[in-house]
């Protein structure tokens, strides 16, 4: 099986008023083509919990896709730090989460967890926000929501037709 490097963007969207949350995951191949994605409406007690659940979903999706190498990118610096160095997590509750995600990452020949600015994570943010509002089906990859197609097109990335 040839080495397949993918970039996976992920995000968690959380509403503090009712603890509703959504997670969004978008996987692209080395050419920038959309190859997989996930959206889910969940419940979370904090924004960091929603981000952590998005990270776990990103791992699951990447393992199911049999990607050899994965570059995970998202806009939660606190969680990225907890994953990259669980023993130095800024909050004790993040240590086991970071360690669990780190352990699950060994499935891949190569993986790294990077922080990116929110503006660079717009597509995953769009999916997670739509999922939180229950406006995005869980299996949207063959027919993404029009708002997501707009975001991907604006980024100049290949995307499926609406």
Instruction: Report residue 16's pLDDT band, with 50, 70 and 90 as the boundaries.
Output: very high
Eight-state DSSP code of residue 159: -
List pLDDT tens digits, range 38-71: 999 999 999 999 999 999 999 999 999 999 999 9
**Contact status, residue 78 vs residue 90, Cβ threshold 8 Å:** yes
Q: State the Cα torsion 3-139-123-18 to the nearest 10°.
A: -130
Nearest to 106 by CA among 62, 73, 53: 62
List pLDDT tens digits, range 125-139: 999 999 999 888 777
Interatomic CA distance for residues 96 and 146, integer angstroms: 37
List pLDDT tens digits, range 148-160: 777 777 766 555 5
Query: What pTM did the predictor assign?
Result: 0.88
Higher per-residue confidence, 28 vs 147: 28
């Amino acid at each position: 099986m040839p080495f397949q490097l993918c970039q996976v963007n992920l995000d968690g969207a959380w509403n503090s008023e009712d603890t509703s949350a959504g997670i969004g995951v978008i996987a692209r191949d080395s050419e920038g083509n959309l190859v997989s994605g996930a959206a889910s409406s969940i419940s979370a007690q904090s924004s960091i919990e929603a981000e952590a659940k998005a990270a776990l979903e990103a791992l699951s999706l990447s393992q199911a896709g049999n990607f050899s190498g994965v570059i995970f990118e998202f806009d939660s610096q606190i969680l990225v730090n907890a994953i990259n160095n669980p023993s130095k997590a800024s909050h004790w509750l993040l240590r086991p989460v970071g360690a669990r995600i780190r352990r699950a990452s060994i499935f891949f020949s190569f993986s790294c967890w990077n922080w990116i600015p929110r503006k660079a994570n717009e597509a995953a943010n769009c999916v997670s926000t739509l999922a939180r509002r229950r406006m995005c089906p869980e299996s949207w990859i063959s027919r993404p929501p029009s708002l997501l197609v707009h975001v991907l097109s604006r980024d100049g990335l290949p995307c499926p037709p609406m």
